[in-house]
Amino acid sequence: MAVAEEGSIARAAQRSDVTTPTLSTSLLGLARELNADLFFRREEGLELTDAGWALLEPARAAVRGADRARSAVAEASGVLRGTVRIATVAVPPALDVTHAVQRIQDAHPEVDVQLIQDGARQVLDLVIDGRADFGITPRAGRTRPSLRVEPLTSAPLVLFCPPGHGLAEARSVDVAELVDEPVIDLPRGWWAREQFDRMFRGKNVYRRVRLEINDWLSVLRLVADGKGLAYGPSSVVDSAFFPDIEVATLTDAPLWELGITTRSGGTRGATVSALLAAYREQCLLGTRLESQRTAPSAHSMTLRNIG
């Protein structure tokens, strides 16, 4: 699995905390046992053969099964251990799951956590496929029957403008006014991008996507430098950066909703349940503290990242 993801025996060995010769020998033994070549070499690195692709998902299932077995034995002894996989979009500090992770790991050193950051739709797929135990992501369209979504926060989409821009602090901007404006876009697959595109389709207005960036801080730097406009949810803010970015409201703006996503059948094991409980408690406390603060001014808002 590590070689398939890294494309290199050396990098996979380092990641797996074994020597390169040990991993090479292990791979050769596995190939002989299965009587099939699992990788072939290209200039860019190792790639899976058809046989390798056929083995990959059963291998992941076997590792998950071994993890569950170890966790079940540990839980019977009253100990939390095992690996928890969390898929998430980047979120505001109060909802950052790493705080709950640190709390659990401080109390239970045998708990390992894998944190995977991706776009909203990819996070949902990771939870559906069982590659993540739960997700923290925007509600991307209609809820799927195989998923359960627990709301955390919601906010309307707004427009982020450079200092002194003509639309800054406007109360109601129709998307038709933005056709000739340089908009710095998020990638397709990010829910805020999908919502923004839908606003144009609803007006039967065509727009040209001139610049698309997969890094929200880079987007904000360009906005602050006067290179264009951007969009995102108004509540996912952090006043520590980009204090000069200004905000305009959008006419009939959709709500961007963030929540915890789990499979409908429930979570597996006490370790995942304990981490989820710690995260819910953290979110509840963060929401209470946020409600006690004075709302930030439009001049001091900045998005962290929105998936």
* DSSP three-state, residue 257: strand
Average pLDDT over residues 57-71: 78
DSSP 204: T
Q: What is the pLDDT of residues 148-173, one digit of tens each?
A: 888 888 889 999 999 889 998 898 99
Residue-wise pLDDT for 111-141, tens only, equals 999 998 877 778 888 888 888 999 998 876 6
pLDDT digits (tens, 9 = 90+) for 228-262: 999 988 766 466 677 888 899 999 999 888 899 99
Q: For the chain, list the domains and their CATH numbers.
A: 1-57 (1.10.10.10), 154-256+295-300 (3.40.190.290)
Strand partners, 257: 154
- Cβ neighbors of 290 (< 8 A, separation 6 or more) are 94
The residue type found at 75 is E
Give the amino acid at 265: G
